[in-house]
Amino acid sequence: MMQRLAGGLVGGNERERAGGKLLELTDRDDGTEQPTPSSQGHEREDEAMEDAEEGVDAAMASVITQVTARDQQAGALPPPPAQYADGPAGEEGGEVRTNWKNKFRSIFCCLAPSQGEQYVRQDEGPVLPQDAGKKTLVLDLDETLVHSSFKPVPQPDYIIPVEIEGRIVDVYVLKRPFVDHFLRAVGQRFEVVVFTASLGKYADPLLDLLDKANVVRWRLFREACCPYEGSYVKDLQCLGRDLAQTIIVDNSPHSYIFQPENALPIGTFIDDMQDQELLDCLDLLLAVEKVDDVRAHLGPILARKQAGLLASFTQVRADGSGESGGQLAGDAAEAESERQQLALYGVDD
């Protein structure tokens, strides 16, 4: 039977009555013996529990791939390799202290896929008929579309139960503002792929909830990533798509180090419910929807955006919003123009 992580259950009636401590016999005043908790045994069990919890914590942390502020603000990225085989050899993690910890690591975290077992480059992959002629949009999941945590958060959008070593641990998920509108809009214009370095046991049920409209055509998880320089890299060549027609949106620069010219960076989402980066991202995606080669246009478009020369939906929305009940301000022509832009983005006014 599955136990929740915080359950703290141990078997045996005597142990239950002793609060989970080991028992030893002590003398009563009347000369008889009684079982009492053993402090020595308790210390041994506490140490074992601490080690076990440390292992579970490590396993939990590795289920979800997240980017820290330090990672995002890091300087130069390690250079991509000059060449590598279809299945690059994995790099083993640090020294393993015990067998159970090694088991955790091999299941969840640091041991990379073996050579040629999971990660494979391909020249051409299957395309659904409804996506023929569309550009491919590769979306990161964690901290790009959602933020997930093992700690309870106020009003989570989803709670995903994940099994770790026979225990069920809840993952609390917050959706990034406008993610539903964003997915609806890009689903009409692009072939949408979610490519995450997180584990499928967490990401797959999350996408079942997040993508009710079945916008996402393909789902790729950690085993599809390429381990490189201690990170999981999303090599777009494993998709079997024309890179001239492929865009990746990801908050982690390490993820697209092999094809930075295909990247549309986005800020990390944690819990800012005023965040509007998905709407700004949509502006840029629409700007390259019809170009011949996205790699020749993403850089200049990003430069114009950063220079403030490219009007964004966020700015239009902010400038056109009134103070009373969120009603649009301005004359009729401006209001009609904004309604048309809202419709273009698939966002209800």
Active site residues: 140, 142
**3-state SS string over the chain?**
CCEECCCCCCCCHHHHHCCCCCEEEEECCCCCEEEEECHHHHHHHHHHHHHHHHHHHHHHHHHCCCCCHHHHCCCCCCCCCCCCCCCCCCCCCCCCCCHHHHHHHHHHCCCCCCCCCCCCCCCCCCCCHHHCCCEEEEECCECCCEEEECCCCCCCCEEEEEEECCEEEEEEEEECCCHHHHHHHHHHHEEEEEECCCCHHHHHHHHHHHCCCCCEEEEECHHHCEEECCEEECCHHHHCCCHHHEEEEECCHHHHCCCHHHEEECCCCCCCCCCCHHHHHHHHHHHCCCCCCHHHCHHHHHHHHHCCCCCCHHHHHHHHECCCCCCECCCHHHHHHHHHHHHHHCCCC
